[in-house]
Structure 1
Amino acid sequence: MATSPQPSLPAPRPRSGISRRLLILATASGLLATATACGSAVNTTGGSSSNGLITLSMHNPDSKTQDPATYQLVQEFNAQHPDMKIRLEGQPVDQHEQRMTIAAQSDTLPEIFWVYDSLAKTMVRNGNLLDLTPILAENGLKAKFAPSMLAGFRQQGIQYGVPYQALITGFYYNKDILREHGIAVPETFDDLLAAVKKLKAAGVVPIAQGANNSAFSVWAFLTMLDRFGYEAKYPDVLSGKARYDNADFLRLYRHVRELAKAGAFPDNMNTQTYAQAVASYTSGRAAFLDAGVWEAEKIQKSQVGKSTGFWAGPTFSDGVGDQKLVMNVPSAPFVVSAKVKRDRKKYAAVKAFIQFYYSDAGQKILVDNAQPPVTTYQPDIDSAKDTVFAAVLAEAAKSGWKSPKAQPDLVVSTATASAMYDSFYGVMGGTLSPEEAAGHVQKTLK
């Protein structure tokens, strides 16, 4: 697993999730300022040069264990370019976002860094980021990307970002459990609801979920939101022309309540973490797991690896628009500080790293670490050995299915994204009605 691409957020709290989130961010900011002054806020990952020519700043304190693909890419690059060594550093997500915000204001941004797209767009408006168009134009690099992988990171005519990794999310499922209880792999919501009722009656946890310090872990439900017209609606929702608590979104939340009432989620959902939910699935105690491609390798090595498949989630007869959607989108981007252009050697190093990262050799390193390529590189997967990863890639490439342009929480502010997570878990846990849940998100929108 590279790492879950979302931050560890607090468990949902009715009507107070946003204030708690802001308190945590304020605390993190204060701690960050203190730690930075002491020189201890940033963890330099082993294997990278402490005095590298350029710095790559990530959202993981320890990339070697939390994001081995990026770690290996940096090691390979440094070995091939001893005169362009990269210093790899990282902090937890919230601290990283705060640090990048402060660095942008003080003109001390690292040369390359990971950042949420909402913050990147603010940096573009403030002139903090380099236009990557000339770099992508060299060696035919731009042609290696599907247009959707770059389009979301373009603003004001500037290609300000490139995709760090791809997000493929949905439900892992245990074929043996489904077979034992005479359940076919669901296709529609009604299929899923019927499966949940049958599994619950048999004493099996239908869907492994963990909300404690993991409120972000609702990926499959974010895809469901797209099946109720989110992609077409969200620009108007953000501009105030439409509301989040609209009739279409409310129908989805009511379906989530149906699942909850049928016993879809574990009794300890609000006290267990996402990692514990994964463990419940890999130990064979749950039929489905809401997760993404980053868990493929871990599941493959577990006792349920040989019996695991992957499913993009249910279609809805009362949904809006195309129901054949699978979430296969670029995650938050890599961006480059605009000041790099002032230094010829650093610009050359940044260009060389981007060219390497998105080359076939670089993408193979992603694939070797169970991450899907973000370019058109065609991986050679041993489908007999890597059955789980192969199942994820096959589901993402199903004929007649398409992907939204972005995951719903990655095109809104941090406060709104946090409220979206809390809204789903609130309905799942029975602490919020569908109307209260949608209204909770609406309150974050100006």
Structure 2
Amino acid sequence: MFRLSTTPASRKPVAATALAAFSLLALAGCAGGGGGTDANGVTKVTLSMQNPDVETADPATWAIIEAFEDANPDVDIEVSGQAVAEHLQSLSIAAQSDTLPDIFWVYKATAEEMLEAGRLLDLTPILADLGIDEKLPESTIDNFTVDGVTYGVPYQGLLTGLWVNQAILEEHDLEVPETFDELVKVAETLSDAGVTTISNGANQSSFSVWSFLVMLERFGYGEKIDAILAGEESYDNDDFVRLYEHIAELRDAGAFASNVSTQTYQQAVDQFLNGNAAMLDAGVWASSAIQESDIAENVTFWKGPEFEDGVGEQNIIMNVASAPLVVDHKVGDNEEKLNAVTAFLDFYYSDEAQQILVENGQPPVTKYEPEIDPETQSALKSAIDAATAEGVTSPQSQPDLLVPTAVASAMYDSIYGVIQDQLTPQQAVELVEAALEDER
């Protein structure tokens, strides 16, 4: 049931074995279910996240935890984290031995496997008692509910697309494009001038293809994925092949940096912040770094190109709940720990905590209307404005969150494979279809 993730860095058997052993040991230190309240009356709750350094990499979550502990000195939130691939692998192993942390971030598809195996706590009554279900959009609740059981709550919002340095475009007599054909022309013009159009980084961050996942939705992914997962339809279909052909067009137009295969996501961000790329493939989480940079006043957020040969709705933006936070089922057997987890969830979805998200460059995940300073938070405002523009819609979930981890990894590899001219569009879709067949 719980398959280990397969990433480019972990495909060698010896390396994978060593990683699995290390990951299990790392997660064992934060496994929940045991103990309750210590001699000092403090209840420890373990929280495992998808960042090795949560304080630095995820200041919004860290600030919420600190504010919660200040208000609840009788609860200690013990935070741990690993990079995404290692984190998911650790959780899969821990699920097999029933030693999961109390609260943890996990992909939606993996969470639903854990729910089926009886490893997750049904949050339905807790959310109802606290009124959280009324604070969250109905689509969010539905996204994390199976057969009447709500197993997860949104960690943060996934508002993704392309950040655009308008000053670079203006310097070359260009405007922010609307269609894919216009984007190709922008790439050709900037490439001739020696300027990178879209900053991406594949090294150790193959998941950083958010804008292309949005494009996948513009070729009917949301309408096809259930049939694809059931084996009734294939990822190798004409619509998806056409999208990958467009990615190849962008590559051939010189849209990407020559070192895209060797630079990391953070280096891609730095490339953009230093004014060496016109666009950055990222999400709203980059708004704080952009705001603190010299280019902030020139940056706007773009939902990405619409396609004349796309499938279905084109005026969409990826503005969805991120992979959920879930709770280990054993928490329900420990009254002190259950009370502490309930208090944490109550605080996390309070207006106070949602404003903390906003102050750290994240949109609220509830219906809370935030206070945003248009001058000191201009980057965040541009992203939220794009998401709330008239007529714009959003998918229910980001494409990679709807599939098993190994398939998501293959999706990343397929996109970067075409960007790096290592795969043809046909080979790219076949790569993902092969991963799907292994999971069926």
Q: Same fold (TM over 0.5)?
A: yes
Number of the residue aligned with 1:438: 429
| Structure 1 residue 126 corresponds to structure 2 residue 126 | no
Aligned to 2:36: none
> Matched residue of 2:74: which SS?
helix
Task: Using the aligned pairs only, state the percent identity.
Answer: 49
| Structure 2 runs not aligned, ≥5 long | 33-39
Look up the SS of the partner of 1:341 in the other structure: helix
Aligned to 2:177: 186
Letter in 2 for 1:431: Q
Q: Distance in 2 between matches of 1:96 and 1:19?
A: 13
Does residue 362 of the first structure (1) align with residue 344 of the second (2)? no
Task: Mark the CA change 1:35 to 1:71 in structure 2 (over 3 Å): closer, same or farther.
Answer: closer
Q: 1:199 aligns with which of 180, 183, 190?
A: 190
**What is the CA-CA distance between 1:202 and the residue it aligns to?**
1.6
Q: 2:90 corresponds to which residue?
A: 99
Q: Which one of 384, 387, 390 corresponds to residue 393 of structure 1? A: 384
Does structure 1 conserve the Cα–Cα contact (< 8 Å) formed by 2:30 and 2:46? no
In structure 1, distance between residues paired with 2:246 and 2:318: 20
Change (3 A) 1:371 1:55: same
Report the CA distance between 1:169 and its aligned residue: 0.6
Match of 1:306 in 2: 297
Task: Name the CA distance, whole Å, in 1 between partners of 2:204 and 2:180.
Answer: 28
Map 1:157-306 to 2 at 5 A: 157-306=148-297
Q: Which residue of 1 aligns with 2:320?
A: 329
1:111-136 residue CA offsets vs partner (Å, 9 max, x unmatched) = 21111212211110011111111111
1:35–1:41 Cα contact (<8 Å) kept = no
Counterpart residue number, 1:14: none
Q: Please, which runs of 5 or more residues in structure 1 have no aligned partner?
A: 1-7, 11-16, 43-48
**Does the CA contact (< 8 Å) of 2:187 and 2:254 recur in 1?**
yes
- What residue number does 1:155 align with? 146
1:2-21 counterparts in 2 under 5 A?
A: 17=8, 20=11
Give the drift of 1:237: 0.9
| TM-score, normalization by structure 2 | 0.92
Question: Relative to structure 1, is the Cα distance of residues 79 and 213 closer, same or farther in structure 2, using a 3 angstrom cutoff?
Answer: same
Secondary structure of 1:303's match? coil
Q: CA deviation at 1:93?
A: 2.6
Comparing 76-85 and 254-263, the one that deviates more:
76-85
Q: Name the SS for the 1:148 alignment partner.
A: helix
Alignment of 1:73-152 (within 5 A): 73-152=64-143
Counterpart amino acid of residue 422 in structure 1: D
Number of residues paired by the alignment?
426
How far apart, in 2, do the equivalents of 1:169 and 1:211 lie?
Answer: 17
Supply the distance in 2 between the matched residues of 1:372 and 1:25 (Cα, whole angstroms).
36
2:363 corresponds in structure 1 to: 372
Rounded Cα–Cα distance in structure 1 between residues aligned with 2:155 and 2:322: 6
CA RMSD across the alignment: 2.3
Q: Which region of structure 1 is more displaced relative to structure 2, 223-232 or 77-86?
A: 77-86
Query: Against the structure 1 CA distance between its residues 355 and 122, is the aligned structure 2 distance closer, same or farther, given a 3 Å change threshold?
Result: same
Instruction: Please list the CA deviations of residues 48-74 of structure 1 after superposition, one character each: whole Å capped at 9, or x if unmatched.
Output: x99743222222222211111111111
Deviation at 1:139, TM superposition (A): 3.9
Cα separation, partners in 2 of 1:428 and 1:305, compared to 1, 3 Å = same
For the residue of structure 2 that corresponds to 1:169, the secondary structure is: strand
Structure 1, residues 203-223: CA drift from partner, whole Å, max 9, x if none?
Answer: 211111111122111110010
Partner of 1:347: 338
Q: Is the CA contact (8 Å cut-off) linking 1:9 and 1:216 kept in structure 2?
A: no
In the alignment, residue 156 of structure 2 is paired with which amino acid? Q
The letter for the 1-side match of 2:145 is R
SS of residue paired to 2:301: strand
Structure 1 counterpart SS, 2:261:
coil
Secondary structure of the 1:335 match is strand
Q: Structure 2: which amino acid aligns with 1:366?
A: L
> After the TM superposition, which parts of structure 1 deviate over 3 Å for at least 4 consecutive aligned residues?
21-27, 33-37, 39-42, 49-52
1:85 counterpart SS class: strand
Distance, in Å, in 1 between the alignment partners of 2:312 and 2:197 is 28
Q: Is the 8 A contact 1:211 1:217 kept in 2?
A: yes
| 2:157–2:364 CA contact under 8 A, matched in 1 | yes
Post-superposition shift, 1:389? 0.9
CA 1:262–1:372 in 2, change beyond 3 Å: closer, same or farther? same
- Paired residue secondary structure (2:131): helix
Q: Residues 18 and 418 of structure 1 are in contact (CA less than 8 Å); yes or no, is this contact kept in structure 2?
A: no
Matched AA of 2:93: I
Matched, 1:423 2:420: no
C-alpha distance in structure 2 between counterparts of 1:355 and 1:322, whole Å = 36
Rounded to whole Å, the distance in 2 between the matches of 1:220 and 1:50 is 47
Residues in 1 aligned to 2:193 and 2:336: alpha-carbon distance in whole angstroms: 64
CA contact (8 A) 1:41 1:91 kept: no
* Distance in 1 of aligned mates of 2:104 and 2:168: 42
Amino acid at match of 2:361: A
Contact 1:51 1:87 in 2 (8 A): no
Given residue 299 of structure 1, which amino acid in structure 2 is its aligned partner?
A: I
Structure 1's 105 and 429: CA in aligned 2 closer, same or farther, altered over 3 A?
Answer: closer
- Alpha-carbon distance in 2 for matches of 1:22, 1:241: 32
Distance 1:32 1:430 in 2: 33
